[in-house]
Structure 1
Amino acid sequence: MAGRPKIFDEEQALDKAIAVFWEKGYENASAENLLKAMGIGKGSFYHSYKGGKQELFEKSVNRVGSHYMKDFKQALRDSARPTEEIRKFFYAVADPESQFGKFGCYFVNAVLQVDDEHLKCVAANQLDVVRQLFMEAIDREKNAGYLKTALSTELIGLHLQSLWAGVNVIRNAGRSAKEVREVIKLNLEILK
């Protein structure tokens, strides 16, 4: 028996759930909020997400990592000067009109706000994926002779990961976009 077929576009529904989680946070996103945004009923929801809200959130974290970060990953790989793409990325995070600027980093929010240890781990793993991307970009620039720093690639990668988390926190603490950009500029001095 094949089971009941899905009668909704799972990626589209997941993107709508991401919007709810991003705006409200995991704990504050109610089943009612999610079902309404996703445009599906309880039966379809629990048929597709047998682990309920937790499974949905885990899939959302992985989708943000694979889909929403796709352009940044590709820009890093295609650029002859990938640290310039890192700079653009951070300044986009500071833009109050961007998704990141409005609601912060999806992964950092999860690490800070979610009580479930497994979900924290899933989000932290995505942060490590981005840190690895930073380090690959730094190594390419060092090998090409563009980046002259004596600091280790690992330390710079960790610094950039910390900056990403810190930007999320100070933005949520009410700092202005101008202040956030100034903090980013100061911290990106490391990329010389």
Structure 2
Amino acid sequence: MTSTTTHGRPRGFDREAALDRAVRLFWRKGYETTSVRELGSELGIGQPSLYNAFSGKRALFDEAVEVYDRKYGGFVEVALVEEETAVDAMRRVLTEAPMQYTRQGLPCGCLVFGGDAGTDDSDVRAWLSNVRNEKTRGLKGKIQDDVSAGVLPEDTDVEDVAAYVMAVLSGLAQRARDEAPRRELEGIARIAIAALPRTQSHD
């Protein structure tokens, strides 16, 4: 008889495809309300195989967040690298967010902002908080560079501006999860963009 498993996993098990399905399940439901049983069903494997392949729900969630940010998120980091100024980067991020959070065929919202909703697991909260804070630090660094270069006024509150952009993104993600139409999110983004600090003229 031919074995149907390999090292505790079904023969032909595609780990990357299974991981992508896990990303989408956590994205839809968050860490707390996603059960091991649901994960097994979504990935098409039993609980022992799930532990063999991913070391359990928590380890799978951590990996799912990393994959999400690399494959589906990460637009904040891209803007910070590709845009010349912090204001341009923030405008781009806020402009793109409504589309990012309402893509057809994908869950609404953002796993990084919503994945820890409702959980009492302090490690999960700390993990996602660190991911969010890392993005905030990236924004702060870009803004501070522009202040130092005279692109933005000296009195620009670097921390508050970065926190403001992240708070707007969080709100947009939540509105998307609440099934608000994209046009509403775009309207919110326009208001937020209008409140950004203005670059200084050096004419």
What TM-score do the two structures reach when normalised by structure 2?
Answer: 0.75
Q: Which residue identity is paired with 2:150?
A: G
- TM-superposed deviation, 1:174: 4.7
Higher relative contact order (CA 8 A, sep 6+): 2
User: SS state of the match for residue 111, structure 1?
Assistant: coil
Q: Pairwise mapping of residues 36-185 of structure 1 onto structure 2 (< 5 A)?
A: 36-50=41-55, 52-70=56-74, 72-95=76-99, 97-98=102-103, 102-148=107-153, 150-185=155-190
**Is the 1:131–1:157 contact (alpha carbons within 8 Å) kept by the matching residues of 2?**
yes
Count, aligned residues? 188
- TM-superposed deviation, 1:124: 0.8
Distance 1:181 1:74, change over 3 A: closer
What TM-score do the two structures reach when normalised by structure 1?
Answer: 0.79
- TM-superposed deviation, 1:74: 3.5
**Is the 1:26–1:110 contact (alpha carbons within 8 Å) kept by the matching residues of 2?**
yes
Q: Which residue identity is paired with 1:190?
A: L
* Distance in 2 (alpha carbons) for counterparts of 1:8 and 1:172: 31
Q: Going by fraction, where is helix more abundant, 1 or 2? A: 1
- TM-superposed deviation, 1:20: 1.0
Return the match for 1:190 from 189, 192, 196.
196
Q: Which residue identity is paired with 2:28?
A: E
Q: Which residue identity is paired with 1:47?
A: N
- For structure 1, the residue ranges without an aligned partner over 5 or more in a row are none
* Distance in 1 (alpha carbons) for counterparts of 2:52 and 2:135: 32
Distance 1:28 1:34, change over 3 A: same
* Distance in 2 (alpha carbons) for counterparts of 1:186 and 1:49: 43
| RMSD of equivalent CA atoms | 2.9
